[in-house]
Structures are given as structure tokens and as C-alpha cells.
Chain A
Amino acid sequence: MAVKVQGACDRKVPGGKLIRVRVEFEIGEQDKLISVKVYGDFFMHPESLIEDIETVLLENGLDIERARSKLDSLFKRPDVSVFGAGPEDFVATFETAVADARYRSIKG
């Protein structure tokens, strides 16, 4: 039977802003990400980029290299500017939130 677990990570980017990721996982025969929320005090133009980042992580999060390359492409879009955090910071915070969820699932 699948078990739902949540994971969290807050990460202050050195010299930058705070990224906060919350994930929800279904752990079973095949692990499944159910939700990914990304929060923080960074600046992003256009603002809708935040939803694109969440979608990339939700759809590709279990293949971290794929997620990383998709985020890199998002951040390179000519209309995009982000201050206070880079794509690698979002990936790292997300990875730790996922690890937190897995740890909680083991801990029960």
C-alpha cells in the first residue's frame, strides 16, 4: 500500500535569498511525487516562472538530472530574470526536501 509523506527544506542561498520547498510523495512500489511547492523571498520576472519551476520539478523530480537540465533551460529563456537564487539552488533545495520525505517515510 502506498504511503503519503511530506518533505521540507529551507535553504538560504549564500549572498542571496531564502528558498523553501515543500514536497508530497506517495511511497509505494513506484514512488510518485504528488505535489511540489516552491516559496521564497527571491525576485523573478516574469512572476509566472514560479509555476513553471514547480511543474518541471513535479513532472521530472524523480529524474534529477532531467529536472536540472529543464530548469537550466527555463532560466536561460530571454524573457526571464531571477535575482537571489540560481537554478542549481532550486534543484539542491528540492533534492533535500525529497531526501527529507524519504527519511520521514523510513522513520515512519
Chain B
Amino acid sequence: MSTGVEWRVLRHERTKRSAAMNMGIDEAILNSVSEGRSPPTLRFYMWAPTAVSIGYFQGLELEVDLDECRKRGVDVVRRITGGGAVYHDTNLELTYSVVVKESSGLLPKDILGSYKAVCAGIIKGMERLGVKAEFRPLNDLVINGRKISGNAQTRRQGCILQHGTILMGVDVDSMFSVLKVPDEKLRGKMVEGVKASVTSLKQVLGALPDPTVLADAVEGGMTSTLPGKFVHGAISKEEEADAGRIARERYLSQAWTGKR
């Protein structure tokens, strides 16, 4: 859909980032979009090293085995968005974020509607790969009832930030080596349950997709479902500096990560 609005698309190809920097960049984009310094932005990114992010309202030590993360060199970060703990495998996940002003009209104002609108773009993108995914309220995408994408949203400074994962592959055993389960006695059962309820593009397509091909597809999906024109751009120097500062002051600080 084309209107006068021009989106900026930031691609993941050049660098994978640390968890703190990835979250810092999303927040820096939110700041710059909010202040009118940057256009609405669709960003694709990946993580290095592998990381765990937890939702804003989650208890760090209830969710994450911190010793095991240290041993394995897995980053741990608390998001500014709600939702659950996510294992971001450095090779198996493509992450996106969308930042728009609430007043832009690019996304519905109501929360469920805006989740749906962004997810519709991802669904269209998956269609381009021959995969049929569906939206499962509030914040998941599923293929034949099995989760392939989790999404989370916050609204601040007059903006909507939604970020989410697309599972290219999934390694549930590694995931649960660093994630705790609510009841240790039932660990085996829970891990088996997750294996049955989660899927990945690799499982559906028979081979691990190239992240560039996936990002192309999702970008194409967003272009066909959201109003405006999508143009490849770069993160500004100002945003990069802001992201570094936010990463240091917030996402790398124990006060933030261990705040709950």
C-alpha cells in the first residue's frame, strides 16, 4: 500500500549485536521517531552472542539460570516490553522491530489491532516462502497450532514499539539449559511440551532458511500490508550513540536487569 509516508528499513546483514546493544538500538529508534528525527522504522536484527531476553514484568532469577548463562557465554537482558522469556539463538532466529508514532495512523490505535496489523505483514512474508502462518491472539504466530513467532509491544513517548522473533530453527534443549521451568520436578515433561508446541521454518521447509531471504520476504509482506513506501536506510550516528549510552546505562546495569 502506498501513501506519502516513507518508512526506513534497517537490515540485519552487516552485524549481529549484543543483547544490550540490540535493545539499546530499539529504544534509540523509539526516541528518535518520537522526536521526529527519524521516520517510521522497520528493523531486522540478529544476536551475537546467543541471548536470553526476559519480559519487563518477569523475575530474573525465576526465569533464567544465570550461572549456566555465564558458563555458556549467553547474554541476558530485560526488555522494556512485556511478555515472556525468549532464547535468541545466534544462528536460528531473525528478530524485527517496528517503531511508529501512535498519531501516524500507520497502525491501529488499539493494542490487539496493532499486533494484528504488524503480524499480518509477517504472515504475508511467510506466504512468500510458501508457509501458512496464522495470528494467535494476543501476540503469537502459529503454523498448524505450533508457535513460530512471539511478539511484544510497548507504547511510550507517543510511539508504538513492537518487536518479535521469527524462528528459523529451534534448539529446545539449549533453550532450556538456560531457562528455568516453574516446576523442576516436571522439567522433562515441560521441555517435551515445548518441543511439541513450537516449530520453526527449518521444520516446515525442510532446510534452514537464509536470514536475508527471510528478511526480504517479511519486508515484502510488510510492504504489501502496511501503508507507505519502504526504503532501505541506515541507523543515524545520533541513534547509534544514543543506543550505546542506553545499552550502558540501562541494559548492562544490574539495577535494570535485576530490577524484578
Interface residues of A (CB under 8 A from B): 10, 17-18, 20, 22, 37-45, 47, 50, 81, 83-84
In angstroms, how far is the closest chain A Cβ from the Cβ of B60?
A: 9
Chain A interface: which of B50-58, B118-126, B198-206, B242-250?
B50-58
B40-82 interface bits toward A, Cβ cutoff 8 Å, 1 = contact, 0 = none: 0000000000000001111100100000000000000000111
B111 & A81 in contact (Cβ 8 Å cutoff): yes
Q: Quick check: is B97 within 8 A (CB to CB) of the other chain?
A: no
A41 & B154 in contact (Cβ 8 Å cutoff): no
Interface residues of B (CB under 8 A from A): 55-59, 62, 80-85, 111-112, 138-139, 152-155, 182-183, 260
Q: Which of A10, A20, A22, A44 contacts B82 (CB 8 A)?
A: A44
Q: Which of B59, B81, B83, B112 contacts A39 (CB 8 A)?
A: B59
Knowing A10-B182, A47-B154, A83-B111 are in contact, say whether A41-B83 is a contact too (CB < 8 A).
yes
A39 & B154 in contact (Cβ 8 Å cutoff): no
Complex interface: chain B residues within 8 A of A45 (CB)? 111, 154-155
Docked Cα-Cα span, A84 to B85, in Å, equals 15
Docked Cα-Cα span, A97 to B62, in Å, equals 15
Docked Cα-Cα span, A50 to B83, in Å, equals 13
Interface centre among A22, A42, A81 (most CB of B within 10 A): A42
